[in-house]
Amino acid sequence: MSRDFHSVHSEPSGFLRRYVFSTDHKVIAKQYLALSMFWGLFGGATAYLIRWQLARPEAEVPGWGYVSPDVYNALVTMHGTIMVFFVAMPFLLAVFGNFLIPLMIGARDMAFPRLNMLSVWVFFLASVTLLASIFVPGGPASAGWTGYPPLSAKPEYTGVDWGLNLWILALALEFASFLLGGINFLTTVMNLRAPGMTFFRLPMLVWMQLIAAVVFMISVGPLIAGAVMLLLDRIAGTTFYLPEGGGEPLLWQHLFWFFGHPEVYVILLPAFGIILDVMSVFSRKPVFGYRPIIYASLVAGFLSFVVWAHHQYISGLDPRLAMPFSVTTILISVPFSFVVFSMIATLWGGSIQFTTPMLFAVGSLGVFIFGGLTGIFNGSAPFDIYIHDTYFVVAHFHSTLISAVFFGGLAGLYFWFPKMFGRMMNETLGKIHFWLTFACFILVFGPMHLLGLGGMMRRIANPLQYDFLKPLEPLNLFITIAATVLILSQVIFVVNFVVSLVRGKAAASNPWKANTLEWATASPPPHENFEKIPSVYRGPYEYSVPGASDDWLPQDRPLADAGAAAR
């Protein structure tokens, strides 16, 4: 039986064992949450500096001072690196995966609790390394979060020496941490499910975490090899990416984007899992098309491996390859459209409760549709050649990423906060937070498409050096003001989070009347999760079952108590 792999231990008593070197998946999830919130604030600060530099390129940034072009390059590089690898990944995968997978499958912990502790500490080391890289002589990496050689391959080219080496090291540690985490997730779900928990009774969130783990695992390997080569070019004199030694700069682009494109789905899929679970609960309806969504996500995961060169249409790629990669890219919109329509169909005709998590989930869907539509434009080579490396692309990928990380992730945090911390968050503040964030998002990233169509390129410290960009300056100022409000609105969230943590109303074990197993135990769950491992009788989404006495039917409730009324 699954339980035999885990003997029941009493909770460790020392402070260090309990909160610092803990092997409890719930504590580890909170550690990841703390780290990703720290990095989120850091990444937000870089966005603030970038935006004000663009709003008034020749003036000082309020509260900071003059930003030189070198510093600007470093800021853009750090912003991208931090947001993707140190906010999105830990928040969406590590926090929700760690906290929810054992609870949702009815296990006492992960399959390898000590490996789990190792993952979070390796990630901590990666964080320290990235922070350290800012303070070494020469400053932090400034070759963009994509680190294209030859710029990144020789210290002379950017003037950054150890900053970039440490950047590579930080990413390597980050990848190692998430590989270990993924192995743990996969093994846990394969080996430790509670009795009756078949694969097709797993909640969406668990499925999406699994698919994301596999996609990450397959895509990151070549980039790990590529990063080793880049580091060797910098410190051992090899010439993998340097044409003068017979190397090929394009090789990095292939390795990077073979990872980079699947990576956006690694971020997106867990967010889909959150959104689908939240939508089902608050529309009191089953997820529409449970199995087809799983199949569609698998198809999208597979297709994500054959689209990478759509980032390289103007990189000197053989032009004959543009067409096949356009076709595969646009093909991906088929499975994703399916998931989007399933979400809409889940909402359709439901008794919708607009709680804060639901607002964020619906907002996420709206923003994703927005970003997904411009993705179809970017994917087709003739259009992309025109807007490549402009703010149109920046607007596009922020729509998809912010849909996943911001709206999707926050939907999850508001939803599972009661389970994590045993207290409710304030709904009014939550709703204000949502509406401000949503409105500002539109004001920031909507007009950004116009900047791109107007020809403004990305990663440029001073657009005013080009006459044709001068008329865009008022628009830049407008976007910056909206972005500042967007960043400031997050203060509402932080206040709500902190105050609720200490003074929030105590949460019942199942405040949202949801079906999945994590709600079958106390809030917060005890050290071993369940007093007795539950038995699972049905799928996760039996809401509003006709004839049942309640409008929800938990996965672990035997039919006898589900009320004779059920039939």
Please give the residue ranges that form the binding site for Cu ion (CB under 5 A): 261
Burial class (CB in 10 A: 0-12, 13-18, 19+), 383: middle
In the numeric block, which tokens belong to residue 348? 């359709």
Question: What is the DSSP annotation of 450-479?
Answer: HHHHTTPBSS-S-GGGSGGGGGGHHHHHHH
Burial class (CB in 10 A: 0-12, 13-18, 19+), 366: middle
Distance CA 425, CA 506 (A): 10
Under rule CB under 6 A, residue 145 binds ligand HEM: yes
Which of ligand HEM, Cu ion, other proteins, none does residue 193 bind (CB under 5 to 8 Å by kind)? other proteins
- Judged by CB under 6 A, how many residues of this single chain contact ligand HEM? 26
User: What HEC string does 92-131 produce?
Assistant: HHHHHHHHHHHHHHCCCCCCCHHHHHHHHHHHHHHHHHHH
Which of other proteins, Cu ion, ligand HEM, none does residue 2 bind (CB under 5 to 8 Å by kind)? other proteins
Closest contact distance (angstroms) between CB of 137 and ligand HEM is 22
Q: Which is nearer to other proteins, 234 or 433 (CB)?
A: 234
Contact of 274 with 212, CB cutoff 8 Å: no
**Residues in 20-79 that interact with other proteins by CB under 8 A:** none
Q: Which is nearer to other proteins, 353 or 549 (CB)?
A: 549
Backbone dihedral region of 31: left (phi > 0), alpha (psi from -120 to 50 degrees) or beta? alpha
Distance CA 213, CA 190 (A): 13
Under rule CB under 6 A, residue 401 binds ligand HEM: yes
Residue nearest ligand HEM, CB atom distance: 80
Q: Which is nearer to other proteins, 248 or 389 (CB)?
A: 248
CA of 462: how far to CAs of 86, 111, 218, 393, 466, in Å?
28, 52, 39, 18, 8
**Mask 522-551, x = binds other proteins (CB under 8 A)?**
-------------xxxxx--x--xxxx---
> Interface with other proteins by CB under 8 A: which range of 139-147, 244-252, 277-285, 497-505?
244-252
Closest contact distance (angstroms) between CB of 528 and other proteins is 17
Under rule CB under 8 A, residue 306 binds other proteins: no
Length reported for the chain: 567
In the numeric block, which tokens belong to residue 376? 């179809």
Under rule CB under 8 A, residue 229 binds other proteins: yes
Distance CA 555, CA 345 (A): 23
Under rule CB under 8 A, residue 228 binds other proteins: yes
> Interface with ligand HEM by CB under 6 A: which range of 44-52, 180-188, 226-234, 240-248?
44-52
Under rule CB under 8 A, residue 146 binds other proteins: no
Interface with ligand HEM (CB under 6 A), residue from 35, 160, 169, 483: 483
Closest contact distance (angstroms) between CB of 238 and Cu ion is 28
Under rule CB under 8 A, residue 218 binds other proteins: yes
Q: Which is nearer to other proteins, 314 or 548 (CB)?
A: 548
Q: Which is nearer to other proteins, 294 or 365 (CB)?
A: 294
Closest contact distance (angstroms) between CB of 5 and other proteins is 6
Going by the DSSP 8-state scheme, the letter that residue 196 receives in this structure is T
Backbone dihedral region of 513: left (phi > 0), alpha (psi from -120 to 50 degrees) or beta? left
> Interface with other proteins by CB under 8 A: which range of 181-189, 345-353, 416-424, 495-503?
181-189
In the numeric block, which tokens belong to residue 389? 């490396």
Interface with ligand HEM (CB under 6 A), residue from 74, 83, 169, 204: 83
Q: Which is nearer to other proteins, 195 or 382 (CB)?
A: 195
Contact of 28 with 36, CB cutoff 8 Å: no
Distance CA 68, CA 74 (A): 10
Under rule CB under 6 A, residue 487 binds ligand HEM: yes
Q: Which residues bind other proteins (CB under 8 A)?
A: 1-2, 5, 111-112, 115, 179, 182-184, 186-188, 190-198, 201, 217-226, 228-229, 232-233, 236-240, 245-248, 251, 255, 258, 535-539, 542, 545-548, 553, 558-559, 562, 566-567
